[in-house]
Amino acid sequence: MPKRSEDDVTTEELPPSVPTLPAPSAAHFLFEVGGVRYEAVRELEVRPSGERLLKVERRVADGALSGLCLVRRIAIPSTHMQRMRMIEEVQLAFRLNHPNIAQVFHMEVDEEEDAPYAIMEYVGGPSLETLVCAALVRGKPLSEGFCLYVGAEVADALHYAHTLTSEKGVPLGIVHRDVSPRHIALGLHGEVKVLDFGAAYSLLVGREESPENLLRGDVAYASPEYLRKEGLTSRSDVFSLGVLLVETLTSRHLFEVSDVPLVAAKESRLRPEMQPSLPLQQMQALMATFGPDVVERAVAHLNEDLKAVLHTALRLNPEERFATAADMRDALRGVAHAQLREPYGRAEAAKEASLVVSEGGVLRDVVEFGEAGLYPDGLEKHELGLPKKE
């Protein structure tokens, strides 16, 4: 979905049921927990559903700033199915506990506004989307070392989610199904975080699936089987990660929709839940002719070992891809070990990210990119929760 900064959001665009916040300079009290006040100081994003992502300061009893966090104010769903999906999202979020997955700490309904709030881990650095855009602006892609490191960390997080089981040991069958640069972020020390399992599919008992004609997540990174509304497996996320890595390594998306005239795309009964970054009909038309030659043209300049990993991840037939995200993780780490002269980890990633944003940011007034301050400094990685209203 195209980014919207806080300057782009107007009162007229918001659903009538979503009150606006005051100007960023005037903190807006949200709630208090154990003497700690949570005050919203900026509205960072408004989604078509009415959800808002808020930058929130925490202040102790004497008024001193104790840290920052993200609070997601969720619009009340209008249908039973949408409410069920919201409940499922919360259930999934609390089950995920991995160092490469951004945590959701607490959710509770504000009884005064009758609106759910979620307190979320605050990632200190930029999203991968910002880094790719900054690299494009400066005219030089991110390094292979950076991409191999990020790809392996994301694959490790996905494998954890894919293999998570219930308390009784029953596989939950979680598939992220929205693995895109927007949902990968870098922490202050170079740690990689996968964000937003809100579009995730799972086999939770009693869950409500998306309607048959509804596609969740950004279809620009969707697997062929998902665009055909066929069965999803962990290999669907493997494909999406492959598309993400091609873009990160080349500063160009794997699929060039400009090559497909809009009139050539057939009418589709499917519809994306949110505005995709690439048109759905053109994506479907491109996928109809997708094959190894498309991948080869995009990655021809890369080393053979890395190309082999991408070709395997991006097979049209899911059975020909890596069997698990862990297999892809190990393959990426193998390439890093064989091709890189020096080890590449958190410190190197943090240093490169800072350089890329700095170099790309020189033209920020000319080329708009990034999440408009979505991940500023100041995270303390713990939360207590929301209070009940008296």
Residue 181, CB-side half-sphere exposure with 13 Å CA sphere:
29
Q: Indicate the pairing of strand 271-272 with strand 214-215.
A: parallel
Q: Which pair of tokens denotes residue 370?
A: 């990034």
CB atoms within 10 A of CB 253: 18
Kind and range of the H or E run holding 352: helix 346-361
Spatial distance between the Cα atoms of 157 and 149, rounded to a whole number of angstroms: 13
In our burial notation (b when 16+ CB lie closer than 10 A, e otherwise), range 36-74 reads bbbbbbbbbbbeeebbbbbbbbbbeeeeeeebbbbbbbb
Q: Which pair of tokens denotes residue 76?
A: 């009340």
Residue 7 neighbours by CB under 8 Å, 6+ apart: 372
Please report the DSSP string for 267-335 in residue order: P-S-EESS--SS-HHHHHHHHHT--HHHHHHHHTTS-HHHHHHHHHHT-SSGGGS-SSHHHHHHHHHHH
The candidate with the shortest Cα–Cα distance to 328, out of 212, 210, 229, 238, is 238
Please report the DSSP string for 128-183 in residue order: HHHHHHHHHHHT-PPPHHHHHHHHHHHHHHHHHHHT-B-TTS-B---B-----GGG
Contact 101, 160 (CB under 8 A): yes
Q: What is the DSSP letter of 388?
A: P
Among all chains, which residue has been given the structure tokens 């999934």? 92
Contact 27, 55 (CB under 8 A): no
Burial class (CB in 10 A: 0-12, 13-18, 19+), 349: buried
Residues with active-site annotation = 178
Among all chains, which residue has been given the structure tokens 């990689």? 192
Q: Which pair of tokens denotes residue 171?
A: 């596989």
